[in-house]
Structure 1
Amino acid sequence: MRRDDLCITVPNFFRCPISLDVMKSPVSLCTGVTYDRTSIQRWLDSGNNTCPATMQVLQSKEFVPNRNLQRLIQIWSDSVARRQHDAELAANSAVLPSHDQVKDLVKQLDNNSFPALTKIVRFARESEENREFLARMDGFLNAVFDFMRNAESDIKLIEQVVHILDLMLSKISERKPLMESNCLSTILVILQRGSSDSQIQSVQLLESLAVDGESKLKIAEKEGLLLELVKSLSKEKDPRLIEASLSCLISIAMPKRVKAKLIQSRTIPELKILLSEPNMTPSIIEKSLKLLETLSSCKEGRVEIWHDTILLQAIVQKVLKASSKATEHAVTILWIVCYLFRDEKALEAVVSGNGMTKILLLIQSNCSPAVRQMSADLLKIFGVNSKPCLSSYDTKTTHIMPF
């Protein structure tokens, strides 16, 4: 197929065997063959009881979403979108504009000119010197802000605005005008409708804006924005977006009001899913535990954590697993809910999840003094509340090794 003079080859396994189109919602039958949900549903609704590809009689007409394939298709689609976007940039900006031409292009922003904006983006991407030229230009940022206020209906325009702001952020010494512009609304639209790359860029921009308590509260109080950030933690999302969203949420989560809003937005259940997944990267695990540790510092967060046995056991499993940072965050959470606030249900969940063995191994490892002290505190509280579990261990032994 050919779009905008760009030849695009679709991998065969992305196509539905029935419609031959790229699958939007891939689902697998009991035969193991994957189809687009709409196509296979139409086939079954027509009275057929066989698998269209194999013609086997179906023992069950139920189907299961193929999340891995859906994720691969999304990554491929985003890649195609990037190539098309780059081709558009090349076509619209074959020659790098001069300084005088850039000044004229900035004036064209008043008319919501997409070609003008793409040329300015290309100019800014070219060099640090060009970005400094734009930063020194009187009225440039105001023109971008005005452009942003009028671009909410066009996702391509919005993505380009965020791109230029991301490029220019290091040149913007005063962030307050940016917060007072339509920036948060623009970022919200991208999180709802943009490509993975533009979503990552917008989340990174958002994190850069969270420089003080006031800006963090503004971000948290922007209707719908926290909810979209939490949705970005879904395990089906691009891992780069998950990691960027975790970093952003960590950066804004310190104020008590923000923590409460994050808990209300069901952040903790999303973190539980990430921590329960076997193939998450160490960095995502570290950041998930760091955010969970932050949320455990408020009562609502602790209550939700210690009433969730599966979550507590997932935290225990990360001790001595992902990295030293992940271990430190995990132990801190356990220390807060089990030792500092001594919730009986949390203690039972940690002990039943092999927490005793993990802490015994950890205390004899080469951990930091802070982790060692928290581990010793946990052993004391386990000893008081779980004597049968401690009876088979001699905490003075030195032969236990962390492996």
Structure 2
Amino acid sequence: MDADIDQLRPTYGATETAEKPVCDMESNGSDQVIQELGRPKNSSTSSAAAVPKGSETEHIDSNKSTEENKKLDSSVIPDDFKCPISLELMRDPVIVATGQTYERSYIQRWIDCGNTTCPKTQQKLENLKLTPNYALRSLISQWCTKHNIEQPTAITNGRIKKSDGSFRDVSGDIAAIEAIVQKLSSRSVEERRAAVAEIRSLSKRSTDNRILIAEAGAIPILVNLLTCEDNQTQEHAVTSILNLSIFDNNKGLIMLAGAVPSIVQILRSGSMEARENAAATIFSLSLVDENKIIIGASGAITALVELLEHGSPRGRKDAATALFNLCIYQGNKGRAVRAGIIASLLKMLTDASSGMIDEALTILSVLAGHHDAKVAIVKASTIPVLIDLLRTGLPRNKENAAAILLCLCKRDPDNLACLSRLGAVIPLSELARNGTERAKRKATSLLEHLRKSQQQVPQQQHH
């Protein structure tokens, strides 16, 4: 691994909780929280700008992807011009047996993975023939011309489009990569291991390589290698998939190839390096909101909580980031609670040497609004720990602690009484005067709830 990996890791800061379910998230809902972890606010799924923690990528290709997408963002793409799989403007539309149209590379990968149904209709394909949709291609071309938009081009006649609009000849690269991809299926363990190590290295270097490797059909083969008995091959395969996932289009291909169950198995029983990179891959894939649901249902959360508690320092960081991202989706919060995440987070809060206080508070801030999580947090005697952080924590820790306490205590007389009994009024008053703007709001609101609660007690006693 490169020495500069940590520079690419998201940093934890104060967060607002995201309560909306994935399917109903507003653009600001999850972005505000993810932005605190290093993801740009206006990039709902852009992993080029938010490289996964464990990624070996030496630099972030955000400028490139921004320039390529700027023109498309300025115009609303008609739904009929988008591939149903990638939801992106099609450059080579083809028709399948059911009459549905897809981008050729995406539907071809779908078929290559052994699927014989139409992704959109779920009908069985009577044949696997792909017929070019010239009429639609012409309409897309006319639309692009009208809106002064160049048609999206990944690879055309051995050339790949650069961010400045020019093209680079990659025909030699294509041939070399295709030769390496063929070796991934070799019967020789040594040859397979060498080939996947080379794919790992190439996928680390550039976006162009990530495109070319995927176009060469490597992803389904790499997914098969995730279950390889050779530890080195498995480590190289999961890290290759991590690096490939940085390019947004590849996320869909990785999901279509059925990678998640094998990634989860590595999380459970792989080498520590493989587990670290499996967790980082889960984080990368979960940047797409729909994937949060699929990953959450796969058993990944239990495996991530285990890594959070017993992993290496880096593995724990990777697990925390993946869990935070998954728990933005409401349906995954209960899964995390049932997996025992609250006890793990409390240990992180009370062990300063763990270096995980920021991560623990960030995850708790997302969970605290969920009923089951709230019950578990209170039952674990977390409130005294949070009050202590109000007194002694860093400004961002105080801010998150106040936000969590507000979630736990508003409209809850028992928890408010506990706050008062444990002497929270003094540190809350201090925070309301001298905290960050958000901390002041949370502390002031908590103090108001405490005041109202104390006013109600004498009235109840009087009656």
CA 1:352/1:327 → structure 2, altered by over 3 Å: closer, same or farther? same
Q: Please say if residues 110 and 143 of structure 1, whose CA atoms lie closer than 8 Å, have aligned partners that are also in contact.
A: no
Could you tell me which residue of structure 1 aligns to residue 146 of structure 2? none
Pick aligned residue for 2:378 from 306, 313, 318: 306
Structure-2 residue corresponding to 1:104: 179
TM-score normalized with structure 2 length = 0.55
Q: Return the structure number with greater relative CO, CA threshold 8 A, min gap 6.
A: 2
Selected match of 2:420 from 351, 358, 369: 351
2:246 aligned with 1:170: yes
Q: 1:148 touches 1:158 (CA, 8 Å); kept in 2?
A: no
For the 8 Å contact 2:200–2:237, the answer to whether it is kept is no
Q: Say which SS state the counterpart of residue 110 (structure 1) adopts.
A: coil
Match of 1:180 among 248, 256, 259: 256
One of 183, 194, 205 as aligned partner of 1:118? 194
Partner of 2:449: 381
Q: Residues 318-374 of structure 1, C-alpha deviation per residue, up to 9 Å, x if partnerless? A: 2253432222211011112222x3x23322333343322221222232x22232122
Whether the 8 Å CA contact 2:219–2:254 is kept in 1: the answer is no
Decide whether the 8 Å contact of 1:135 with 1:172 is kept in 2. Answer: no
Q: Which of 137, 142, 145 is the equivalent residue of 2:220? A: 145
Q: Confirm whether residue 319 of structure 1 aligns to residue 375 of structure 2.
A: no
Change (3 A) 1:151 1:338: closer
- In angstroms, what is the RMSD of aligned CA positions? 2.7
| Aligned counterparts of 1:357 and 1:112: Cα–Cα separation in 2 | 69
Structure-2 change in CA distance of 1:263 and 1:378 (3 Å): same
Letter in 2 for 1:110: S
C-alpha separation in 1, matches of 2:181 and 2:279: 26
Q: Distance in 2 between matches of 1:139 and 1:213?
A: 24
TM-score (norm 1): 0.63
Cα distance in structure 2, aligned partners of 1:292 and 1:246: 11
Match of 1:361 among 414, 426, 430: 430
Shift in alpha-carbon separation, 1:270–1:138, aligned structure 2, 3 A = closer
SS state at 1:297 partner: coil
**Residues 296 and 302 of structure 1 are in contact (CA less than 8 Å); yes or no, is this contact kept in structure 2?**
yes
Contact 1:196–1:241 (CA<8 Å) still a contact in 2? yes
Deviations 1:136-161 (A, max 9, x none): 25753x33423422551414322211
- Ranges in structure 1 where 5+ consecutive residues have no aligned partner: 1-97, 388-403
1:206 aligns with 2:288: no
Q: In structure 1, what is the Cα distance between the partners aligned to 2:336 and 2:301?
A: 7
Structure 2 runs not aligned, ≥5 long? 1-171, 456-463
CA-to-aligned-CA distance 1:54-95 (integer Å, 9 cap, x gap): xxxxxxxxxxxxxxxxxxxxxxxxxxxxxxxxxxxxxxxxxx
1:50-65 maps to which residues of 2 (within 5 A)? none
CA gap of 1:147–1:378, structure 2 versus 1, over 3 A, is: closer
CA distance in 2, matches of 1:335, 1:292: 12
How far apart in 1 are the matches of 2:200 and 2:266? Answer: 21
Match of 1:370 among 434, 438, 443: 438
Is the Cα contact below 8 Å between 2:203 and 2:210 reproduced in 1?
A: no
CA offset at residue 313 of structure 1?
A: 1.0
Which string of whole-angstrom CA distances, capped at 9 and with x for unpartnered residues, describes residues 243-280 of structure 1? 21111111111222111211222211211121122323
Is 1:280 the counterpart of 2:354? The answer is yes
% of aligned pairs identical?
Answer: 16
- Shift of the 187–113 alpha-carbon distance from structure 1 to 2, 3 Å rule, reads farther
